[in-house]
Structure 1
Amino acid sequence: MDIIVNPISRLQGDIQALSSKNYTTRYLLVAALAEGTSTIYYPAHSEDSDAMRRCLRDLGATLDEDDTKIVIKGFGAQPVLQPASKQLDVGNAGAVLRFLMGIASLLPEVHFINAYPDSLGKRPHHDLIDALEQLGAEIQHQDGKLPITIKGGKLKGGAIRVSGNISSQYLSALLFLTPLLSEDSTIEVTDDLKSKVVVGQTLEVIREAGIIIEASEDLMSYRVPGNQRYAARTYRVQGDYPGSAAVLAAAAVLPSDVTLRGLTEDSKQGERAIVDVLRMMNVPLTHEDNVVRVQGTGQLSAVTFDGDAATDAVLAMVAAAVFADGTSRFYNVENLRYKECDRITDYLNELRKAGANVEERQAEIIVHGRPEGVEGGVEINAHYDHRVIMALSIVALRAKQPIRIKDAHHVAKSYPQYFDHLTALGAQVEWI
């Protein structure tokens, strides 16, 4: 479905932040890896987290859910592909695929299908495949892409090398897996490590589940004792900064009085930086008692920002910078190219259609702000990417004419209620 986003003059209201998708998927996984029953309060509901739920059931976990919590009886270190589940379908969820590629290596054979050939199906996984093969898995793939068949069941720990140059999710997959192996393991990250903050989230969740992992200060090397077992625990999911970044940026580009609740001030989510960046752009806001209040004027200043630690908020920041006074620069963001789409080239091409003045480098986005606004009045392609959809909607709210965003229903990958929340704040949208 497409959506038409109309220009508006003001946003106002009070909403509760979505629960964190990143923490939900990680808590679901460690709960399934525990031998016993865990409870997760306020889990996120999105296509990604639902894909993790579905696959964990297919691997033998039992999940019971009500309005506030999910109770999981785990399969421990012995997942078993259920008779009715001949293959795993992770949908369009890259993190879910990569995390479960590691866990699937404990099984004799698992086949991951290619449900989204135009999105996740285009993304390579060579570095994780190479690391799992170092542990003894045999993997069939299409030049590193889906469909992927893993033949495992006889893994041995040891010295593992994995590149972090494309994604930190490869490392996270190994951190979830290696504590379950009989032997001790060491993991050395080669090249570079993107999104170190997200690795910190992985380590935080794993340690909450009772696992011991020794990490170097720079997060480039690890010692993982073998023969460990995940413990059943009770978890509480915090508010989601990546999705909230779009709402906060929308409030920043218009006259507004928007309150967003449930965003922990000391969160380890790198996208928490959206609050600091908006302050740097001279947006009036407060952040106290887990509540962010934006009282926007629509007047913003340009900013320069290292986006590596806040990857999933960068597109929203760029959307705000479209209307800033001056030239903004977002650097160290090459990993945006390896997401659901090329979030640099594809996104900037669509911004240009709407009237934005933007430039790209291999690892940079440069925005020449237009405080007078952009023309709009066009149809733009979000490339099936939830983050691109949200970011383009921010620009559409302040365009001079309505903008039609193609395939906007894919926002459900991470934030199914996004347009409902915008509408509650005063946005005018029409589904087509």
Structure 2
Amino acid sequence: MKKIKITPSKLSGEITIPPSKSMAHRAIICASLSSESSTISNIDFSEDIIATIDGMRALGADIKIEESTLYISGKNLLDNSAQIKEIKNIFCNESGSTLRFLVPISLINENRVRFTGKGNLGKRPLTPFYNIFDKQGIKYIYSDGVMDLMIDGKICSGEFELEGNISSQFISGLLFMLPLLKGNSKITITSPLESKGYIDLTLQMINLFGVSITNNNYQSFEIVGGQSYRGCNYVVEGDFSQAAFFLVAGAIGNDVVCKGLNINSLQRDKMALEFLQRIGAEIQINGSNISVTKNKLEAIVMDGSECPDIMPVMAVVAALCKGTSMMINAGRLRIKECDRLMAITKELGTLGANITELSDGLKIIGVDSFAGNTTVHSHKDHRIAMSIAIAATACNTPIILEEPDCVSKSYPSFWEDYKEMGGIIEVIDSE
């Protein structure tokens, strides 16, 4: 689909939230780093998850797929007796997680690996890894602005220094692989660490698979070498970053029950519930089912440093709150699949929101509703597309959305689920 027409309608019903992409990445990686067999179930085959599966296979993991379940063994990946042969090619698509997790993992043993990708992936920084490569004498060649990185060598245990305000993915990538090296290692964080929640998810998964890492209040991490990952049977929990779209839908007047969520989850995107509660929406929790009901919505300040992925859709509800909302500490949204601060300002503004782009956030003055009757663009970004779909339910007239298929990056069935709950979509320009 190149363009779809979305006619405003009320979403109503129950939806089983897709499994967490963040948790699935981590489970697949940990299972692939174990010589024992693991079973990972409740997998949603988004483009990002496919990239990680294919990447771990390229590195030697045996991964079999049966419906939504993966059967994984990393015995061959861990075998360092084989001589280096052909270059291993890993296509990351547009997945920053796949790229930044697998770069250090690919160097557990002596290897020659080429990482490629598409879209804006080549614009997302990799400097922290280049600094490690330079220090350890690992050969690498990369192209500016294009995802094409060739690396040749092996990472050794030791002391690592990383900034904490670029991306937690660099830290997670090292945390996955350093326990498997012979010597002990230490990662020191040289600036305040953002996205601590993603580090929590990494440490939780690593621990589940039998590996121990000491977290010194997120200022440093001590890793004993020579550890082994155990096999594990793991069911991926529901994704709060995807649930956020339908939780916000409830807050702006729709009637949706989100099923399959773990209210005790460590996912920081669960902060969507905190934001919505502070805004004034009513939240109902019944076991693994969560729903949000519209109430008098008041403007708040939202800090995006720990949960950047939910900020675009939180801007949708903020645009319909009474008063002036501020989104702060959200500068990392500029280096996602698109510049999300720019994109959400432009597209919500086109719909009729009163929104101003700031250097690291947004200023949003509430309006009663969105006008609609216009064309908006997804910027080929899944979270922008889905945020616009939720905003469309509060429009006065239909809208046209360009390039909606980008949702396949994280939520392939989004449009089907949207229609199942009463969303009205018409394809007006097919591929």
TM-score range, shorter chain: over 0.9
| Equivalence map 1:345-360=2 (5 Å) | 345-360=342-357
SS at structure 2 position matched to 1:110: strand
- 1:360 positional shift: 2.0
Indicate conservation of the 8 Å contact 1:141/1:147, yes or no: yes
| In structure 2, distance between residues paired with 1:31 and 1:134 | 30
Partner of 2:94: 92
Partner of 2:298: 301
Q: Which moved more, 1:33-42 or 1:191-200?
A: 191-200
1:108 aligns with 2:111: yes
| In structure 2, distance between residues paired with 1:19 and 1:82 | 36
SS at structure 2 position matched to 1:344: helix
Q: Find the partner of 1:315 among 300, 312, 315.
A: 312
Instruction: Return closer, same or farther for 1:280/1:335 CA change in 2, 3 Å cut-off.
Output: same
Instruction: Return closer, same or farther for 1:360/1:197 CA change in 2, 3 Å cut-off.
Output: same
Question: Which portions of structure 1, spanning 4 or more consecutive aligned residues, are displaced by more than 4 angstroms?
Answer: 79-86
Q: Find the partner of 1:404 among 380, 400, 421.
A: 400
Partner of 2:38: 38
Amino acid at match of 1:332: N
- 1:320 positional shift: 1.1
| In structure 1, distance between residues paired with 2:292 and 2:66 | 33
Instruction: Return closer, same or farther for 1:188/1:100 CA change in 2, 3 Å cut-off.
Output: same
Indicate conservation of the 8 Å contact 1:55/1:88, yes or no: yes
- 1:69 positional shift: 1.9
- 1:68 positional shift: 4.2
Indicate conservation of the 8 Å contact 1:160/1:187, yes or no: yes
Aligned residue pairs: how many? Answer: 425
SS at structure 2 position matched to 1:25: helix
Partner of 2:202: 202
- 1:130 positional shift: 1.5
Amino acid at match of 1:228: Q
- 1:385 positional shift: 1.1
- 1:381 positional shift: 2.1
Q: What is the aligned-residue identity percentage?
A: 31
SS at structure 2 position matched to 1:87: strand
Indicate conservation of the 8 Å contact 1:302/1:324, yes or no: yes
- 1:84 positional shift: 8.7
Please report the TM-score for the alignment, with normalisation by the length of structure 1. 0.93
Partner of 1:344: 341
Q: Find the partner of 1:379 among 375, 398, 401.
A: 375
| In structure 1, distance between residues paired with 2:88 and 2:153 | 16
Unaligned runs of 5+ in 1: none
Partner of 1:128: 129
RMSD (Å), alpha carbons = 2.0
- 1:129 positional shift: 2.3
- 1:197 positional shift: 0.7
1:137 aligns with 2:138: yes
Partner of 1:241: 240
Q: Deviations over 1:50-96 (max 9, x none)?
A: 11111112222122222342111113534889989741101110110
Partner of 1:151: 152
Indicate conservation of the 8 Å contact 1:307/1:332, yes or no: yes
SS at structure 2 position matched to 1:51: helix
| In structure 2, distance between residues paired with 1:81 and 1:3 | 50
| In structure 2, distance between residues paired with 1:370 and 1:226 | 56
Q: Which moved more, 1:260-269 or 1:132-141?
A: 132-141
Unaligned runs of 5+ in 2: none
| In structure 2, distance between residues paired with 1:120 and 1:413 | 13
SS at structure 1 position matched to 2:177: helix
Instruction: Return closer, same or farther for 1:30/1:285 CA change in 2, 3 Å cut-off.
Output: same
SS at structure 2 position matched to 1:340: coil
- 1:147 positional shift: 0.7
- 1:143 positional shift: 4.0
- 1:132 positional shift: 4.2
